Amino acid sequence: MQEDVPKLDPQATRCPIPIVGYDRILMAHGGGGRLTHQLLEKVFIPAFGNPLLNARHDGALLDVGGVRLAFSTDSYVIHPLFFPGGDIGSLAVNGTVNDLAMCGARPLYLSAGFILEEGLPIEVLQRIAASMQAAAREAGVQLVTGDTKVVEKGKGDGLFINTAGIGLVDSGREIQPSRVKPGDVIVLSGDIGRHGVAIMAAREGLAFQTTLTSDCAPLAAPVQSLLLSGLDVHCLRDLTRGGLASALVEIAESSQTGMVIDESCIPLDDQVRGACEMLGLDPLYVANEGRFVTLVAPQDASQAVRILQQHSAGRGALIIGRVESGPPGSVVQMNRLGTRRLIERLSGEQLPRIC
Amino acid sequence: MQEDVPKLDPQATRCPIPIVGYDRILMAHGGGGRLTHQLLEKVFIPAFGNPLLNARHDGALLDVGGVRLAFSTDSYVIHPLFFPGGDIGSLAVNGTVNDLAMCGARPLYLSAGFILEEGLPIEVLQRIAASMQAAAREAGVQLVTGDTKVVEKGKGDGLFINTAGIGLVDSGREIQPSRVKPGDVIVLSGDIGRHGVAIMAAREGLAFQTTLTSDCAPLAAPVQSLLLSGLDVHCLRDLTRGGLASALVEIAESSQTGMVIDESCIPLDDQVRGACEMLGLDPLYVANEGRFVTLVAPQDASQAVRILQQHSAGRGALIIGRVESGPPGSVVQMNRLGTRRLIERLSGEQLPRIC
């Protein structure tokens, strides 16, 4: 990595596109990028705003009866229901398990809410339930409560699943964007973009075929190894909607720091690279379901990489950048040719319904 | 209530309709009646079956780090989004608050997952978020974590909401169907059927109009009053999908007891009675969103009624029946004319998408 990063004008990190002006929901409001952020800022935070929600973490950290819990939820609307490397059921378990893990919690219990479209073959539901149970067993969690609703044909799309999860956080542990500070090292757990590209390949009408499979996997085990090692882990974030780029921008904004990453360090499968080039996608923004970043104190970075590499989901772990003092909220990528690129939140929608 | 109840043939409580034979999801699978039960028995329990899920309560009772928690979830697909007496937002808060309350828990925290259909006016989302916040404040809970997904126009229906909730259960408290025993008295918290009839009236194309409003309300306060009074409360159940009838059948089946209720005791608003007569609905099966039954030791029944009557949601509380030794799973209604009717689970779908 180069050491000299230009001081950017803080104004330049602001969104040049007006963030008001839409009066109806667009697909991009669900894409995890700028419009999702706007919905949070303009609708949900003003309505529900409270310190717990304002922390903008992957889940809420709660004190319940003297015990520290993480609590998180996600709805899954992925299309198609089955894809190379997983299905909506394994995704619904791993996604919420991973959100809990990113809070520094040991995931314990999940709920599952199903919204079924009239006409869904019951055999499909059975396969997905079996997949959820297998994923839950692998991740070490139990599905303990649930609900089923049915909507008329044409008012849903086969099957949507919501999962919410509860995890236990060891006392004294603080995994929060607010703990990120200049000097921290950014560790990435492996190659990026496989989930999003595998979903595209699985959809009808795409002009390419790959042998790629989604990276969908539970991340609780590598994260627990990191935490139990005693390393000073400041923040964790999985790279779902909006990809690596959006995750880093969110952390930089929440922690009011700047970040620098080195493009040449970021691992890409050749098929992901090829598909992204062909389709005009930026792999930095493509969703993953089994990848995350860890921000650690500089003296702990090498050890963090070694610990992650002992897990299948962290086999390709490596250092990709570091945290700087500013400008607050900026993420800069040092490119192969020595140029610098300011990374922004995903604008618009790269791949709809990838989770 | 009459004291002499005939001993029924246990065989007669079995479902006379084959419970297999459907290979696709029908609207009735979401109705809270026999097909919902079948889906649970044939798909979810075999896949996820564990002791916590098998308890068949409104939520799961968990021990996390030495603290007893209740955990529950529901998805809300009600149509229309706004109805007399509430909207999908207040319903999504109260519904999950009430499920926690029925576990004997003090509701504390909710998650919210939104599935939006492309084209939904953002102003509608803002109104619903504001309604959720108002309902959360009234019920004394906080919305602490959430998620938003968007699906294409025609793949959803405006807005679906999932909420999951966490509540704290005092140590030593056991509110479970398994605690119900012969001699227990059944206390109903007020008149039934207003939610379902109000929704029907709000839908387009119905041939009647009423001034009815939904009974949608948080039940945590009356339940906490009951529990803190020291009365021996054995079981609580709110009367949502499938109505009073399905709630009693479920408890009777889980507790392997029989029940007798007196039709003449069950309060009905005149407009509910009229609408049900006109539409051929049985109010015993119509959904409520602010009514529940309490099963208490006989010596505590009168006091339970007095406590509930001090709360707006329990103003009309009264004793409607009692638990007998059998036949297991049977619920018998003593009718006004002195005849007896065996109450069964809702078969088919009375009112689709009422929650």
B77/A151 Cβ within 8 A: yes
H helix or E strand, kind and range, residue A100: helix A88-102
Asked whether the beta carbons of residue B123 and residue A23 sit closer than 8 angstroms, the reply is yes
Phi, psi of B165 (to 5 degrees): -140, 150
Residue A65: list chain B partners with CB under 8 A.
Answer: 67-68, 168
Q: How far apart are alpha carbons B158 and A185 in whole angstroms?
A: 43
Q: Is B109 exposed, middle or buried (0-12, 13-18, 19+ CB in 10 A)?
A: buried
- Kindly tell me the burial class for residue B200, based on how many C-beta atoms sit within 10 Å of its own C-beta (0-12, 13-18, 19 or more): buried
Distance from CA of A219 to the nearest CA of B (A): 20
When computed from its CA atoms, the radius of gyration of chain B, rounded to whole angstroms, is 20
Distance (Å, rounded) from C-alpha B259 to C-alpha A157? 41
Backbone angles phi, psi at B41, to 5 degrees: -70, -35
Cα gap A87→A130, rounded to integer Å: 11
Interface test with B, best of A99, A150, A203 (most B CBs within 10 A): A150
Instruction: Say which residues have a Cβ less than 8 Å from residue A345's Cβ, sequence separation at least 6.
Output: A15, A33, A34, A37, A242, A245, A246, A249, A250
- The 10s digit of each residue's pLDDT in B279-307 is 889 999 999 999 999 999 999 999 999 99
* B353 contacts A113? CB cut-off 8 A: no
Residues of chain A contacting residue B162, judged by C-beta atoms under 8 Å apart = 73, 75, 113, 162, 164
Q: Give the relative orientation of helices B122-139 and B88-102 as an angle to the nearest 10 degrees.
A: 30
How close, in Å, is residue A277 to chain B by CA atoms? 26
**Are the Cβ atoms of B27 and A150 closer than 8 angstroms?**
yes
Q: Which residues pair with A111 in a beta bridge?
A: A145, A164
| A chain contacts of residue B154, beta-carbon cutoff 8 Å | 154
pLDDT at residue B56, rounded to an integer = 66
pLDDT-derived band at A9 (thresholds 50, 70, 90) equals very low
pLDDT of residue A160: 98
CB-CB contact of B293 with B186 (8 Å) = yes
**Interchain proximity B142–A22, CB inside 8 Å:** no
Spatial contact of A100 and A107, defined as CB atoms under 8 Å apart: yes
Say which of B72, B147, B166 has its CB closest to residue A64. B166
As a whole number of angstroms, the distance between CA B108 and CA B88 comes to 20
The verdict on whether omega for the bond into residue A328 sits within 30 degrees of 0, i.e. cis, is: no
What phi and psi values does residue A172 have, to the nearest 5 degrees?
90, -10
**Disruptive mutation site among A162, A169, A171, A354 for chain B (greatest number of B CBs within 10 Å):** A162
Q: Which of A67, A120, A150 sits opposite B66 (nearest CB)?
A: A67
With CB atoms and an 8 Å threshold, state whether A48 touches B136.
yes
Element (H, E) at A135: helix A122-139
Which residues of chain B lie closer than 8 angstroms to A109, CB-CB?
52, 60, 62, 64, 71
Each residue's pLDDT tens digit, B220-263: 999 999 999 999 999 999 999 999 999 999 999 999 999 999 99
- On average, the pLDDT of chain B sits at 90
Do residue A25 and residue B151 have CB atoms under 8 angstroms apart? no
Is the separation of the CB atoms in B258 and B332 below 8 Å? Answer: yes
* Closest C-alpha among A87, A116, A164, A165 to residue B39: A116
For residues B25-43, give the mean pLDDT: 90
Distance CA A86, CA A63 (A): 34
Asked if B71 lies within 8 A of A149 by C-beta distance, the reply is no
Of B67, B76, B352, the CB nearest to A67: B67
Task: Tell me the nearest-neighbour CA distance from B340 into chain A, angstroms.
Answer: 33
Task: Give the minimum alpha-carbon distance from A58 to chain B in angstroms, rounded to a whole number.
Answer: 8
What values do phi and psi take at A294, rounded to 5?
-120, 130
Strands (E), A60-133: 60-64, 67-76, 82-83, 86-87, 105-117
Q: What is the DSSP letter of A328?
A: T
DSSP string, B44-69: IHHHH--HHHHT--SSEEEEETTEEE
Q: What is the pLDDT of residue A336?
A: 85
Q: How far is the first Cα of chain B from the last one, in angstroms, to the nearest whole number? A: 33
pLDDT of amino acid B17: 40
pLDDT of A37 over the 90 cut: no
Range scoring the smallest mean pLDDT among A25-34, A237-246, A346-355, B295-304 = A346-355
- pLDDT at residue A215 above 70? yes
In contact, A318 and A267? CB cutoff 8 Å: yes
Q: What pLDDT is recorded for position A342?
A: 95
Bridge-partner residues for A16, per DSSP? none
The per-residue pLDDT for range A308-333, each reduced to its tens digit, is: 999 999 999 999 999 999 799 999 99
Contact B47 A126 (CB under 8 A): yes
Q: Which of A25, A118, A146 has its CB closest to that of B116? A: A25
- Report how far residue B288's alpha carbon sits from residue A264's, in angstroms, rounded to the nearest whole number: 60
Residue B327 or residue B211, greater confidence = B327
What is the sign of the dihedral through the CA atoms of A130, A168, A164 and B249? positive
| A89/chain B closest Cα distance in angstroms | 12
The distance of Cα B13 from the centroid of its chain, to the nearest Å, equals 22
Structure tokens at B355: 């929650």
Sheet holding A292-296, edge to edge: A233-238, A292-296, A185-188, A318-324, A258-262, A331-334, A340-343
Q: What percent of chain A has pLDDT over 90?
A: 77
Q: Taking CB atoms and an 8 Å limit, are A53 and B122 in contact across chains?
A: no
Kindly indicate the confidence band of residue A307, based on its pLDDT and cuts at 50, 70 and 90: very high
Q: Which of A36, A73, A124 to mutate to test the interface with B (most CBs of B within 10 A)?
A: A73
- Of A24, A48, A53, nearest to B121 by CB-CB distance is A24
The torsion defined by the Cα of B92, B163, A157 and A142, in degrees rounded to 10, comes to -150
User: Using the beta-carbon criterion (under 8 Å), do A48 and B132 form an inter-chain contact?
Assistant: yes
Mean pLDDT over A146-169 rounds to: 97
Omega cis (within 30) before A80: yes
Name the pairing type of β-strands A331-334 and A258-262. Answer: parallel
A114 CA: distance to closest CA in chain B (Å): 7
B279 versus B88: the higher-pLDDT residue is: B88
Q: What is the DSSP letter of A1?
A: -
Q: CB–CB of B52 and A144 under 8 A? A: yes
Which pLDDT value is given to residue A5? 37
Size of interface A-B (CB pairs under 8 A): 276
Closest A-chain CA to B349:
A150
Q: What is the pLDDT of residue B189?
A: 98
Q: Can the peptide bond before residue A327 be classed as cis, meaning omega within 30 degrees of 0? A: yes
Query: Strand A185-188 to strand A340-343: parallel, antiparallel, or no bridges (unpaired)?
Result: unpaired
Res A209: pLDDT: 67
- How confident is the model at residue B9, as a pLDDT? 42
More confident residue, A56 or A298: A298
| Exposure string over B235-263, b if 16+ CB within 10 A, otherwise e | bbbbbbbbbbbbbbbbbbbbbebbbbbbe
Residues of B in contact with A122 (CB under 8 A): 22-25, 39, 42-43
- The string of pLDDT tens digits covering residues A260-274 is 999 999 999 999 999
Average pLDDT over residues A197-202: 89
Instruction: Name the residue among B68, B115, B144 with its Cβ closest to that of A71.
Output: B144
Q: Which two tokens stand for residue B40?
A: 């649970």
Phi-psi region of A193 (alpha: psi -120 to 50; beta: other; left: phi over 0): left
pLDDT, mean over chain A:
90
Is residue B110's pLDDT more than 60? yes
Nearest to A166 among B66, B121, B166 (CB): B166
Query: Which of B25, B44, B62 lies nearest to residue A119, judging by beta carbons?
Result: B25
A167: closest CA of chain B, how far (Å): 9
Strands B82-83, B67-76: parallel, antiparallel or unpaired by DSSP?
unpaired
Q: Of B36, B42, B122, which is closest to A25 when you measure between CB atoms? A: B122
Which domains occur in chain B, in start order?
Answer: 27-36+176-343 (3.90.650.10), 60-169 (3.30.1330.10)
Report CB contact under 8 Å: B125, A352: no
Indicate the pTM of the whole model: 0.92
CB A263 within 8 A of CB A248: no
